[in-house]
């Protein structure tokens, strides 16, 4: 059974958090087990702080490694990002009524932003083409190390179906 007692002096107090961890708090009256007020916990504080610091360093190191940008984007990442902007591109048909397979040449900078998008073929210079270019420029890829990636993206306009091919 824990007893009500003051732990610590006029400054900060050591409070056990379980699993070998402790915290410094302003002293107040609270329920505390006998082992928290004993000198061994207070004397273990420097080692507890060191353990917490070591664990934080390990976690920061592994997170930093995971946060490093890859050399290049994987195909699945590119397709996933373009799939997210596809509805915006297909809505260009609803706005301007031009159906077909829109081809867009895109440049993506190492920060993941699309720096240029140009509609090609039948959509070049049309309102629908400009709309699809804007949709492509709205794509945000994750950062990577290469200075620039050039992509060619094709998106079917008029719902999700590709235009029928003539024989």
**Overall pTM surpassing 0.75 (yes/no):** no
Q: In sequence order, what are the residues at sequence separation of 6 or more whose Cβ sits closer than 8 angstroms to the Cβ of residue 30?
A: 4
40-59 mean pLDDT:
61
DSSP string, 39-104: HHHHHTHHHHHHHHHHHHHHHHHHHHHHHSPPSS--HHHHHHHHHHHHHHHHHHHHHH---EEEEE
Q: What would the two tokens of residue 88 be?
A: 């915006």
Half-sphere CA count of 24, side-chain side, radius 13 A: 10
The domains of the chain, with CATH numbers, are 3-67 (no CATH), 75-157 (3.30.2420)
13-18 vs 21-25, strand pairing mode = antiparallel
- The answer to whether 123 touches 48, Cβ cutoff 8 Å, is no
Per residue in 89-134, pLDDT tens?
Answer: 999 999 999 999 999 999 999 999 999 999 999 999 999 999 999 9
Q: How many Å is the maximal CA-CA distance in the chain?
A: 91
How many secondary structure helices (H) and strands (E) does the chain include? Answer: 5, 7
- The answer to whether 98 touches 161, Cβ cutoff 8 Å, is no
Residue 138 three-state SS: coil
Q: What percent of the chain has pLDDT over 90?
A: 49
């Amino acid at each position: 059974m824990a007893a009500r007692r003051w732990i610590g002096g006029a400054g900060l107090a050591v409070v056990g958090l379980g699993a070998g961890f402790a915290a410094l708090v302003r002293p107040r009256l609270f329920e505390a087990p006998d082992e928290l007020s004993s000198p061994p916990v207070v004397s273990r504080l420097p080692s507890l702080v060191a353990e917490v610091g070591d664990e934080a360093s390990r976690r920061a190191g592994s997170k930093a490694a995971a946060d490093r940008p890859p050399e290049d984007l994987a195909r699945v990442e590119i397709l996933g990002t373009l799939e997210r902007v596809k509805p915006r591109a297909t809505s260009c048909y609803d706005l301007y009524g031009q159906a077909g397979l829109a081809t867009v040449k895109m440049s993506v900078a190492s920060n993941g932003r699309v720096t240029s998008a140009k509609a090609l073929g039948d959509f070049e210079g049309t309102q629908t083409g400009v709309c699809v270019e804007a949709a492509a420029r709205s794509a945000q890829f994750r950062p990577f190390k290469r200075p620039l990636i050039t992509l060619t993206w094709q998106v079917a306009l008029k719902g999700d179906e590709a235009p029928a091919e003539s024989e």
